[in-house]
């Protein structure tokens, strides 16, 4: 039973952890910045933020953090954005790297190019409330989703790169290849809070 004010951790080894924590707090969650494996214990849910996935992995592979987090993402609600989505994926390319493999998707890192190819796009989603602004920064691309994965929003074909899902859900796991924490729109974080509150 999740209490009505859930405690949501944000992995704070590196990256955009502060903006996620601020957003979740503004929506009524208790938040905690997580830098060591012991800090995972009291959490109801976790956000894996954007940043550099290679840096996250470097930190995680020290002091047994990787294995403890690997167990956590299989039992609790987790929201991964950008690098966080890459860590959750079953298969990672460009280049191939280690991941928890809990989310049945294939992800290509930096699929749209470098920072000059970063973009802010607006697109329809299945969330109520009209089009959603999406901030893509050196974004990855989800090239395959498994049968148990629901796509909530797509990025249209851009620069000759085929359309693909950008916001996906598989049970209590939510992942985005864009950065909802960098937009004013709170709907994606609200969706995650709803998932956390209804998790049993």
Task: Spot the catalytic one: 20, 82, 108, 189.
Answer: 82
Q: What is the DSSP string of 133-166?
A: EEEESS--EEEEE-TT-EEEEEEPPBTTBPPEEE
Rg (CA), the chain: 16
Task: Draw the binding track, 73-102, toward other proteins (x: CB under 8 A; -: no contact).
Answer: ---------xx----------xx-------
Task: Spot the catalytic one: 20, 85, 108, 181.
Answer: 181
82 is catalytic: yes
- The single-letter DSSP state of residue 51 is S
Q: Tell me the β-bridge partners of 78.
A: 46, 173
Among 114, 128, 147, 159, binds other proteins (CB under 8 A): 114
Residues 1-60 that bind other proteins (CB under 8 A): 12-19, 35-36, 50-52, 54-55, 58-59
- Cα separations (Å) of 85 from 95, 101, 170? 15, 10, 12
CB of 3 to other proteins, least distance (A): 28
Which residue is listed with tokens 């460009």? 94
20 is catalytic: no
Q: In the complex, which residues of this chain contact other proteins (CB under 8 A)?
A: 12-19, 35-36, 50-52, 54-55, 58-59, 62, 82-83, 94-95, 109-110, 113-120, 133, 135, 137-138, 179, 182-184
């Amino acid at each position: 039973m999740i209490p009505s004010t859930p405690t949501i951790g944000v992995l704070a080894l590196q990256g955009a952890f502060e903006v996620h924590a601020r957003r979740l707090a503004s929506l009524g969650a208790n938040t905690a910045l997580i830098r060591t494996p012991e800090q995972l214990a009291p959490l109801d849910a976790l956000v894996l933020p954007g940043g550099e996935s290679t840096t996250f992995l470097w930190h995680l592979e020290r002091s047994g953090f990787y294995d403890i987090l690997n167990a956590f993402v299989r039992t609790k609600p987790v929201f991964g954005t950008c690098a966080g989505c890459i860590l959750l994926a079953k298969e990672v390319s460009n280049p191939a790297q280690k991941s928890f493999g809990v989310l049945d998707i294939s992800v290509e890192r930096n699929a749209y190019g470098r920072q000059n190819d970063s973009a802010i796009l607006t697109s329809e989603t299945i969330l109520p409330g009209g089009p959603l602004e999406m901030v893509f920064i050196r974004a990855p691309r989800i090239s395959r989703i498994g049968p148990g994965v629901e796509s909530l929003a797509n990025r249209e074909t851009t620069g000759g790169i085929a359309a693909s899902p950008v916001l996906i859900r598989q049970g209590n796991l939510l992942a985005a290849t864009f950065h909802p924490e960098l937009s004013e729109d709170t709907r994606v974080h609200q969706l995650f809070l709803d998932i956390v509150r209804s998790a049993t």
